[in-house]
Amino acid sequence: MEQGFDQTSISQILEATQIARGTLYYYFSSKEEIMDAIIERTIERAFTASQAFADNRELTIIERLASSMAALNLNHQEGEEVLLHLNQPQNALLHEKTNQILLERAPQILLPIIQDGIAAGDMKTDYPYESLEMILTYSLQAFGSSFQALPPEKQQQKLQAFLYLLETLFHSRQGYFDPFLALIQTQSS
């Protein structure tokens, strides 16, 4: 896969994994199915970790939210190699598919935390699910692989804008989402 998904042949996969052709085709009908399985396993680990933080009532609401979102970072789920491949231009379709899965499932994990924030009076919105979708969509785009290439002042500007977005969407007090600043800076270093 070092040359990218599209340029990797089934023969190369068989050679790298030392699996017999018949065994491979018993489980997978194409190399796309193989990559789908790898991505699915990596993402499933991320969702499991995210759910564990979301369910941890010993943490504050903001700690649960920040930790749950951090767990969705594939770098934290031994998925760094998968993430590197997904970020290659020739793997754009796989990258998009992964983002779609995240955007479909992550709000289901995070929504109860937002609802707890609303119940506690720390957040207010008539659109909690849609607000989560917007935050996740923005996060995937703004803090993806291109974030690293930005000069530090541009990174800081994006981070501050993100905090403002969170506070505005959820009608939260200024500074409520500041733990996200440390989270994003940790993830991108």
Residues 124-152 have pLDDT tens digits of: 999 999 999 999 998 888 877 677 788 99
Report the C-alpha gap between 88 and 178 in whole angstroms: 32
The answer to the question of residue 47 being in a domain is yes
Which domain CATH number covers 134? 1.10.357.10
The answer to the question of residue 49 being in a domain is yes
The answer to the question of residue 2 being in a domain is no
pLDDT confidence band for 3 (50 / 70 / 90): low
Which pTM value belongs to this model? 0.77
Residue type, 178: D
Residue 78 has pLDDT above 70, yes or no: no
Residue type, 50: S
CB 132 within 8 A of CB 125: no
Structural domain of 68: 10-187
CB 46 within 8 A of CB 71: yes
The answer to the question of residue 122 being in a domain is yes
Report the C-alpha gap between 68 and 108 in whole angstroms: 12
Residues 45-69 have pLDDT tens digits of: 899 999 999 999 999 999 999 999 8
Determine phi and psi for 106, rounding to 5 degrees.
Answer: -60, -40
The answer to the question of residue 3 being in a domain is no
